[in-house]
Structures are given as structure tokens and as C-alpha cells.
């Protein structure tokens, strides 16, 4: 068996995943629940996950001396907190299985023959009886032309998992600030997600924004990434709840400056920013806050709106919505329905998950199934 790698690097995406710790998978061990974390491919992945799912990933690594740990949000990492642990494991396994790895070998064309396939490189051709395509995603349709040329349907690839650019919004001045439990919603839709929001020098990022971008990938693309995002900074459901939170603290804070008495646990810079946004004098005491201003404050805490114009993706970690149509693949074998003895695995498929180890798990699952059946 031979692996052809177009670059001079192996497993570079594994290397940078999780800030260099490698978010291997997610501690969701029920197939019915697991599939819900995939905006594209959820239904089809149920078949694949019935064969190989996160508990199997954990067992596979454990059998090779690699233990994984689960963090509070369900993400799983090697106990070493070092992605090199995972890379070394894969390379050692390839060595044991006597798999040849050839770098700097981009496959330019793939030709089905009466028996097997001819792979065309820049200066050579090679014939193989069976082929697994694990070429990853591509930001452009032309990256899939070689598969389209042999009869496969391609879903136009567009970005998934991106951050929101807000060039006209002053909230960017708070870059580096994190609100741990906020809810972001695309105005005019039912799309929303709750989780940490990170303020960046270009706008907003963090898990809540990235997950929202994944679920809204097609919609936001169609809107040319121009839309309004509504933020509920407290993730509470009603204005009455916010008023109750204020009233519960009023005896303690009534004589204190509003700037210095934040009853909601928001980061201080965000608190001051929101007070200024609704033009509340932060130096005045709480007991002087008028009913009108209190309502303005409650509204901005629950219904803060920002204009988004554009996106930012991380080139090293891009995830695409789109790729090879799943209608062309038998998900129980990962074999092409168009060409016998041709298999697919990973992000080349029209499958993508939200952040948290789900994209890697889809890759491990599809790779495992294809690899088992090709032997």
C-alpha cells in the first residue's frame, strides 16, 4: 500500500488542531446524538457511525498506548496535550503496516481502467487495483475537477467555520475579551448558538460564532456575508429575568456607581462598553437609574445588534461545506457508486461538523471503513 502526499508535510492539520494539542474527537458516544453535530452529512453518517464512532476511536488509540482525556465541553485530547503524540502514533502504525509514504506527489488525474486505476502525476503514471481518495477539502470547485471528470457530482464548496467581520463596529476595540456564555443569532432566521464569544480586532469569533457560521454556511454565502447578528450577552430568555437579577442585587448595589456594580458577571470592559452604547452615565448610582434607562440597558443585554460585512477563515484550518456528493458514495463501505474499487474518506466528502473534534471523527470513521474494506 502506498500513500501519495502532495506536499512535504504529513498530518499538518493534526499538528495545529486544538492549538497544537489535537482535538482528536468528542465524548459523544450515542450515534443518534453524534450525527446532530454535522450541518452536512448527518443522516448519512448514522450508517458510518454504526461501524466506527468516538468510543472506537478512543479504543483504537488506547490499544496503541495513547490515552485520551475529556474536557468539560466534551472535547477529547491526548493526555500529553501534544498533537505530536497523535502524529507519531499514525506514522508508527504506517511503519508497522509497511505502508509506503511518498511526499511531493500530487495526483493530477485519475483514470478508471477495465481493472483498477491509473494515477497521473507530473512526470509519471502508476497503476493500482484500488484507490482511496482522502485529499481533503478545497475552497474552489476546480479542486474537485479531477473527480468530476470521471463522473462524480460535486457540491459547490464554500467556507464553513469562519469568524464574523464587523468593520464598522466599535466593539472591535475590546479585542481579546471573551464573554463565556452568550447567544448569537442571525437576524431574520431561526439560526442561533450559545457559547463563548471572543471579540477580535476584525469582529467576533469563538465557539458560538464558529458553530453559527457552520449551520448558516449556505445562507450566509447567499447573502454575500452581509447580515446582522443579534447577541444575547446573558443567554437568558426574558426581560423579566434580567429585571429580577437587578432587583435581587439592588439592596447591595443601590448606592454604588453603575460602572462598579455589575450584577451580571460580564467582563468589566464589556459592561462599560454596553453602558456607553446606550448612553447611560456609568458614574451615577444604581438608585438613580430611571425606568427608561433600565429598559434600554435590559434591551442591549438581550438584543444587542451588530452589522457583519465579510468573514475571516484560518487557511491552515479551513473547513468546507461542499465537496463530493454523498449520493455518489455507499456510506457503509465508502465505495464510489460511480466507479468500483474507488473509495473516499475525510473532508473530500460533502460532510462537515461544528467545532469540537467532530470533523476529525468523521475523517477517522470514513477512513477506517474505507481502509478495512480495501485490504
pLDDT, position 123: 84
pLDDT, position 10: 94
Distance CA 279, CA 285 (A): 15
Same domain, 108 and 215: no
SS3 314: coil
pLDDT, position 122: 85
Residue pLDDT, tens place only, 179-194: 999 999 999 999 999 9
Same domain, 105 and 189: no
User: The CATH number of the domain where 146 resides is what?
Assistant: 3.50.50.60
| pLDDT band at residue 373 using 50, 70 and 90 as cut-offs | confident
Counted domains in the chain: 2
Same domain, 355 and 298: no
User: The CATH number of the domain where 256 resides is what?
Assistant: 1.10.8
| DSSP H helical ranges for 131-200 | 145-148
Q: Does pTM top 0.85 for this prediction? A: yes
Distance CA 328, CA 324 (A): 8
pLDDT, position 317: 52
| pLDDT band at residue 32 using 50, 70 and 90 as cut-offs | very high
Cα–Cα–Cα angle for 318, 40, 353, rounded to 5 degrees: 50
Supply 82's cell numbers. 501534544
Averaged pLDDT for residues 196-209: 96
Same domain, 110 and 20: yes
Same domain, 297 and 325: no
Same domain, 180 and 72: no
pLDDT, position 139: 85
DSSP letter for each residue of 172-231: GGGTT-EEEEEEEEETTSS-EEEEEEEE-SSEEESHHHHHHHHHTHHHHHHTTTEEEEEE
SS3 127: strand
Q: Which residue has the cell 457540491?
A: 155
* Chain CA centroid to CA 17, Å: 11
Helix axes 54-62, 358-374, angle to 10 degrees: 70
Phi, psi of 263 (to 5 degrees): -80, 5
- Domain's final residue, options 266, 281, 312: 312
| DSSP H helical ranges for the chain | 12-20, 31-34, 42-49, 54-62, 83-96, 145-148, 207-215, 217-222, 239-253, 268-277, 291-302, 358-374
Same domain, 132 and 192: no
Same domain, 213 and 300: yes
Supply 238's cell numbers. 426574558
Same domain, 35 and 46: yes
| Averaged pLDDT score across all residues of the chain | 95
Residue pLDDT, tens place only, 36-49: 999 999 999 999 99
Same domain, 122 and 140: yes
Residue pLDDT, tens place only, 205-242: 999 999 999 999 999 999 999 999 999 999 999 999 99
Averaged pLDDT for residues 148-161: 95
Distance CA 281, CA 375 (A): 71
Cα–Cα–Cα angle for 207, 212, 218, rounded to 5 degrees: 140
Please report, for residues 14, 79, 287, 308, 333, the alpha-carbon distance to residue 316 in angstroms, rounded to integers and kept in the order given: 10, 24, 52, 23, 29
Domain residue limits at 230: 162-312
- 228: β partners: 307
Same domain, 24 and 99: yes
The answer to whether residue 316 scores a pLDDT higher than 60 is no
Same domain, 255 and 349: no
Residue pLDDT, tens place only, 72-109: 999 999 999 999 999 999 999 999 999 999 999 999 99
- C-beta of residue 213 within 8 angstroms of C-beta of residue 164: yes
pLDDT, position 318: 67
Amino acid at each position: 500500500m502506498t500513500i501519495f502526499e502532495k506536499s512535504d508535510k504529513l498530518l499538518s492539520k493534526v499538528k495545529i488542531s486544538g492549538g497544537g494539542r489535537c482535538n482528536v474527537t468528542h465524548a459523544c458516544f450515542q450515534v443518534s446524538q453524534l450525527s446532530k453535530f454535522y450541518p452536512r452529512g448527518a443522516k448519512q453518517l448514522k450508517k458510518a457511525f454504526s461501524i466506527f464512532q468516538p468510543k472506537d476511536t478512543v479504543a483504537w488509540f488506547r490499544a496503541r498506548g495513547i490515552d485520551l482525556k475529556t474536557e468539560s465541553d466534551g472535547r477529547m485530547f491526548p493526555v500529553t496535550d501534544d498533537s505530536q503524540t497523535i502524529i507519531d502514533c499514525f506514522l508508527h502504525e504506517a511503519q508497522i503496516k509497511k505502508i509506503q509514504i511518498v511526499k511531493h506527489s500530487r495526483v493530477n488525474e485519475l483514470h478508471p481502467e477495465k481493472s483498477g486505476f491509473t494515477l497521473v502525476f507530473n512526470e509519471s503514471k502508476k497503476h493500482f487495483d484500488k484507490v482511496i481518495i482522502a485529499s481533503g477539502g478545497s475552497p474552489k470547485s476546480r479542486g474537485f475537477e479531477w473527480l468530476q471528470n470521471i463522473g462524480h457530482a460535486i457540491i459547490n464548496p464554500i467556507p464553513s467555520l469562519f469568524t464574523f467581520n464587523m468593520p464598522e463596529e466599535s466593539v472591535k476595540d475590546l479585542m481579546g475579551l471573551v464573554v463565556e456564555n452568550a447567544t448569537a443569532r442571525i437576524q431574520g432566521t431561526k439560526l442561533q448558538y450559545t457559547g463563548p464569544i471572543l471579540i477580535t480586532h476584525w469582529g467576533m469569533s469563538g465557539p458560538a460564532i464558529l458553530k453559527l457560521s457552520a449551520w448558516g454556511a449556505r445562507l450566509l454565502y447567499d447573502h454575500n456575508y452581509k447580515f446582522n447578528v443579534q447577541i444575547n450577552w446573558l443567554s437568558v430568555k426574558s426581560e423579566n429575568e434580567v429585571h429580577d437579577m437587578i432587583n435581587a442585587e439592588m439592596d447591595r448595589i443601590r448606592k454604588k456607581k453603575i460602572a462598579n456594580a455589575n450584577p451580571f458577571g460580564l467582563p468589566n470592559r464589556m459592561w462599560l462598553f454596553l453602558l456607553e452604547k446606550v448612553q447611560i452615565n456609568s458614574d451615577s448610582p444604581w438608585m438613580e437609574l430611571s425606568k427608561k434607562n433600565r429598559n434600554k440597558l435590559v434591551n442591549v443585554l438581550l438584543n444587542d445588534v451588530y452589522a457583519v460585512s465579510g468573514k475571516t477563515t484560518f487557511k491552515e484550518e479551513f473547513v468546507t461545506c461542499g465537496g463530493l456528493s454523498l449520493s455518489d458514495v455507499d456510506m457503509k463501505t465508502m465505495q464510489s457508486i460511480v466507479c468500483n474499487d474507488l473509495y473516499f474518506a475525510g473532508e473530500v466528502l460533502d460532510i462537515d461538523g461544528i467545532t469540537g473534534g467532530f470533523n476529525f471523527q468523521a475523517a477517522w470513521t470514513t477512513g477506517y471503513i474505507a481502509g478495512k474494506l480495501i485490504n
